[in-house]
Amino acid sequence: MTASEEKFTRQRLLEVQTLTPGLFTLRTTRDPGFRFQAGQFARLGVRKPSGSIVWRAYSMVSAPHDEFLDFFSIVVPDGEFTSELSRLRPGDELLVDRQAFGFLTLDRFPDGRDLWLLATGTGLAPFLSILQDFEVWQRFERIVLVYSVREARELAYQGMIETLLQRDYLAEHAGKLTYLPTITREHKPDALHGRITTLLESGELERAAGVELSPEHSRIMLCGNPQMIEDTRQLLKARDLQLSLTRRPGQVAVENYW
């Protein structure tokens, strides 16, 4: 089988950064032929000493126009993939599937005024890709990013979020974004306290955002812990905010991140 016939490309690991003992980011080179929509994920492969390949799916943090690929990951204790990845150094080989996957993309919604991005943990990744893509700023009048973690030190990519709207191509849209970090296990003065579901039920999330959730105007993306997604979906369903399906457009799109 020739390199062009393989289902993956061989990329180089450019950088690995440890954020906390349980979180890290990684950057790889990008094949010129690899295309993706903001919000999609790629399958990454690492080769074990035995020669077998371990594959895992990761949403792109990077924008579709970037020349590199960024990813955000948890450390799985004794996990097969992260154990192999921990042995790699910049310059080592990392495999990337030629095809991108996933449906947590803006084309799930044919309309809408307000976009809500609700993430826990590494579920933040696809939303950072979406926020770096120009389309979302053209389509929506208000964008609310909610990022829930257990401890303040787990709030990743804060510098990127803070400087996002300073980019030349987004500067005119600076007033559209509301960022709401939420922390569940400790209090921090400039963050909400509590789970996303609790903040939704109490109405605190909407008060903090300064915008109400409604079937007419709101479009909501959920990514992260499967239990959060299921519980949040039920709360939204009770308010007539329905999952968006191919045969029936709705107001909610989801991605279970593990």
With contact defined as beta carbons under 8 Å apart, do 255 and 102 qualify? yes
**DSSP string for 73-89:** EE--TT-HHHHHHTT--
Examine the domain organization and report whether 170 and 78 are in the same domain: no
Do 62 and 162 have their domain in common? no
* CB 196 within 8 Å of CB 184: no
SS3 content of the chain, % helix, strand, coil (to 5): 30, 35, 40
Mean pLDDT (the chain, rounded): 94
Q: Residue 88 burial (CB < 10 Å; 0-12/13-18/19+)?
A: middle
Q: How far apart (Å, rounded) are the C-alpha atoms in residues 63 and 67?
A: 9
The CA distance from 7 to 139, in Å, is 34
Domain endpoint, select from 97, 126, 158: 97
Mean pLDDT confidence for 101-108: 95
Q: Which residues form the domain of 75? A: 3-97
Residue 228 has pLDDT above 90, yes or no: yes
Give the ranges where the chain is alpha helix by DSSP (H): 80-85, 125-131, 134-139, 158-163, 196-202, 204-209, 226-237
- Domain check: are 230 and 247 in the same one? yes
- pLDDT tier at 200, thresholds 50, 70, 90: very high
pLDDT band at residue 5, thresholds of 50, 70 and 90?
A: low
Residues 6 or more apart whose CB falls under 8 angstroms from that of 232 comprise 118, 196, 197, 200, 222
**pLDDT of 4 above 60:** no
Whether residues 19 and 133 share a domain: the answer is no
Q: Give how far Cα 23 sits from Cα of 4, 75, 149, 153, 171, Å.
A: 34, 6, 12, 10, 30
2 confidence band (pLDDT: 50, 70, 90): low
Tokens of 69: 């690929």
Tell me, what amino acid is at 254?
A: V
For residues 194 and 216, membership in a common domain is answered with: yes
* One domain, residues 203 and 179: yes
- Indicate if the pLDDT at residue 254 is higher than 90: yes
Summarize pLDDT for 127-168 with one digit per residue, the tens.
Answer: 999 999 999 999 999 999 999 999 999 999 999 999 998 898
Q: Are residues 26 and 119 in the same domain?
A: no
* Residue 1 predicted with pLDDT over 70: no
Q: pLDDT (tens digit, 9 = 90+) per residue, 20-64?
A: 989 999 999 999 999 999 999 999 999 998 999 999 999 999 999
* pLDDT over 60 at 188, yes or no: yes
Nearest to 257 by CA among 123, 101, 141, 69: 123
pLDDT at position 77 is 87
Pairing of strands 41-47, 53-59: antiparallel
Task: Give the domain CATH number at 185.
Answer: 3.40.50.80
Token pair of 85, please? 């990845």
| pLDDT above 70 as % of the chain | 97
- Sequence-distant (6+) residues with CB within 8 A of 50 are none
How confident is the model at residue 3, as a pLDDT? 55
pLDDT tens per residue, range 80-99: 998 888 888 999 999 999 99
Distance CA 182, CA 94 (A): 34
CA 144, 149, 153, 156 torsion-angle sign: negative
172 and 77 inside one domain:
no
pLDDT band at 257, cuts 50/70/90? low
Q: Identify the domain boundary among 97, 115, 148.
A: 97
Interval 112-132 mean pLDDT: 97
Q: The whole model's pTM is what?
A: 0.95
